[in-house]
Amino acid sequence: VSGIWGQRFTEKCLRHGAEVVQLVKEAGLTPSYDEIAKVLEEEKPQVLFLCHGESSSGTKQKLDGVGELCAKHDCLLVVDTVCTLVGEPFFADAWGIDLVYSGAQKCIGCPPGLSPMTYSDKAYEKVMNRKTKPDIFSFDVTEVGRQWGFNGDKRPYHHTPPINIMFAMREALQIVSEEGLEASWNRHLNAHYQLWEGLDKLGLKPFVKNPEDRLSTVNCIEIPDGVDAPRLIAHAYDKYNLEISGGLGGTAGKVFRIGLMGYNCTPRNVESVVTAFEAGLKEQKWL
């Protein structure tokens, strides 16, 4: 747990009656391979949750080797890729991740409302062989799967699907595949470099100190002493029609957050963000 999404996953598990052990890191840091290995060794959990991109603090979790480690401990690895899928390199199978979920509305560029998920064979087997049924019928993925015709089911009714968003998802994925995944990852990375080149010239500093741990899709900027953050955010909105976020959870009041995801992740938009920061800082006589 290094931010709001790890915290929220904890909350969800507790509400389902799970026993949770947290590996807590300060906002801006991520657990290392060795720290994860130690927890697996000591606690022997059935499930390990990691957030690939912790959007509240702008950190990226390294995942290489963690899948193998989990397999060794017979533990399922669940990863949140809501703000990273299509924006950051991610390899569910090669990294041995058992359950991945994401969001439609971030780097995929679809309207909100769908949560794409994928299961490894091991996770699928586990879900299909549950001893007890999930207490919420709507969230029973075995029923959802039957409606989609998994295992040769005759697609019995489970719920009315939001087909308008499914068509939108199809179109969004078409656009992603026309660009190509690698090209999309590079576009997000280049925008991140361009942003930091511009912000650095203004004297602004990244909140995440280790460059390797920085997300390209959500960028956290330290609020410098003497800067009125809400005033800068309002200025960017009024003068440039740009929405700059403040911090969330542990980063509230400490950072500005810039999302560069999907359709909005373009060199021109990055230029506008840097211009808005420069103007906002000058307006406050900080520059």
User: Does position 53 bind ligand PLP by CB under 6 A?
Assistant: yes
Give the range of 75-83, 139-147, 177-185, 226-234 binding ligand PLP by CB under 6 A: 75-83
The closest alpha carbon to 73, from 100, 48, 109, 104, belongs to 48
Q: In the structure encoding, which two tokens stand for residue 182, read together? A: 């690698």
Give the range of 49-57, 197-205, 231-239, 267-275 binding ligand PLP by CB under 6 A: 49-57
The closest alpha carbon to 167, from 113, 87, 107, belongs to 113
User: Nearer to ligand PLP by C-beta: 112 or 253?
Assistant: 112
User: Does position 86 bind ligand PLP by CB under 6 A?
Assistant: no
As a whole number of angstroms, the distance between CA 42 and CA 48 comes to 13
Q: Which of 70, 78, 83, 260 binds ligand PLP (CB under 6 A)?
A: 83
User: Does position 90 bind ligand PLP by CB under 6 A?
Assistant: no
User: Nearer to ligand PLP by C-beta: 172 or 281?
Assistant: 172
Integer angstrom CA distances of residue 124 from 19, 72, 128, 236? 22, 18, 6, 47
User: Nearer to ligand PLP by C-beta: 12 or 201?
Assistant: 12
Tell me how many residues contact ligand PLP (CB under 6 A). 9
Strands 47-51 and 53-54: unpaired
Q: Decide if 70 contacts 40 (C-beta within 8 A).
A: yes
**Amino acid code (one letter) for 172:** A
| Interaxial angle between packed helices 267-283 and 181-201, expressed in degrees from 0 to 180 and rounded to the nearest 10 | 20
Give the range of 29-37, 48-56, 125-133, 226-234 binding ligand PLP by CB under 6 A: 48-56
User: Nearer to ligand PLP by C-beta: 264 or 284?
Assistant: 264
Q: Which of 55, 120, 194, 251 binds ligand PLP (CB under 6 A)?
A: 55
Q: Which of 40, 51, 79, 204 binds ligand PLP (CB under 6 A)?
A: 51
Instruction: Find the shortest distance in angstroms from Cβ 209 to ligand PLP.
Output: 20
Coil, helix or strand at residue 199: helix
Coil, helix or strand at residue 93: coil
User: Nearer to ligand PLP by C-beta: 80 or 98?
Assistant: 80
Q: Decide if 221 contacts 258 (C-beta within 8 A).
A: yes
Q: Which of 80, 88, 98, 213 binds ligand PLP (CB under 6 A)?
A: 80
Which residue is associated with the tokens 């927890």? 39
User: Does position 215 bind ligand PLP by CB under 6 A?
Assistant: no
Plot region of 155 (φ>0 → left; ψ -120 to 50 → alpha; else → beta): left
Plot region of 59 (φ>0 → left; ψ -120 to 50 → alpha; else → beta): beta
Instruction: Find the shortest distance in angstroms from Cβ 217 to ligand PLP.
Output: 9
Q: Which of 48, 50, 82, 232 binds ligand PLP (CB under 6 A)?
A: 82
Binding region for ligand PLP (CB under 6 A): 5, 51, 53, 55, 80, 82-83, 103, 112
